[in-house]
């Protein structure tokens, strides 16, 4: 009598909409457009944490950090990373996201050290970057492309006479 097909379709649409909103928000953050990122993230519907809620939370934390709300952003990063085990992500994806959070949190602190709670989550892990989902690597970039492009080439070795 009740198949649940409509609710499953509605849930799938919400997940796709939230995923697209996070992708747009992270692209806006990568070009330092915080207002556009906030607007895109506001379009994301409320979803379960295990579905895409973790992604929305992580993007929200990044927006807070870019806006200068360090404490709020760091607390959100810790909350998201501590609950990643509730998701169906692979171990490599989870560890990649924890490393991403560690890098971003260490960038905004005065002493360049991530909070202890985050360091405890990332303390002893490994991941194979080739097994990390390419969409995660696209949305949550460990190193910015500008940093790689600005690095001058190493000086040539001294000439031996």
Question: Range of 15's domain?
Answer: 11-81+88-142
Q: What is the residue-averaged pLDDT of the chain?
A: 83
5 in any annotated domain: no
The domain tally of the chain equals 1
Whether residue 153 is contained in a domain is answered as: no
Would residue 155 count as lying in a domain? no
How do residues 121-134 score in pLDDT, each as one tens digit?
876 667 777 788 88
The pTM (predicted TM-score) of the whole model is: 0.77
Q: What is the pLDDT of residues 88-110, one digit of tens each?
A: 888 888 888 888 898 888 888 88
pLDDT digits (tens, 9 = 90+) for 2-40: 567 888 888 888 888 888 899 999 999 888 888 999 999
The Cα 104–Cα 98 span in angstroms is 10
* 147 within domain boundaries: no
For residues 122 and 109, what is the distance between their CA atoms, to the nearest angstrom? 17
């Amino acid at each position: 009598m009740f198949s649940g097909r409509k609710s499953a379709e509605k849930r799938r649409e919400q997940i796709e909409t939230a995923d697209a909103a996070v992708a747009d928000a992270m692209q806006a953050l990568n070009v330092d457009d915080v207002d556009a990122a906030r607007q895109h993230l506001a379009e994301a519907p409320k979803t379960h944490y295990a579905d895409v809620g973790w992604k929305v939370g992580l993007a929200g934390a990044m927006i807070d950090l870019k806006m200068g709300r360090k404490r709020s952003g760091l607390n959100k990063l810790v909350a998201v990373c501590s609950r990643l085990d509730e998701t169906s992500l692979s171990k490599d994806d989870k560890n990649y996201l924890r490393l991403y959070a560690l890098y971003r949190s260490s960038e905004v602190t005065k002493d360049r050290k991530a909070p202890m709670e985050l360091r405890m989550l990332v303390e002893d892990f490994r991941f194979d970057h080739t097994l990390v989902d390419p969409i995660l690597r696209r949305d949550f970039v460990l190193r910015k492309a500008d940093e790689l492009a600005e690095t001058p080439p190493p000086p040539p070795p001294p000439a031996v006479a």
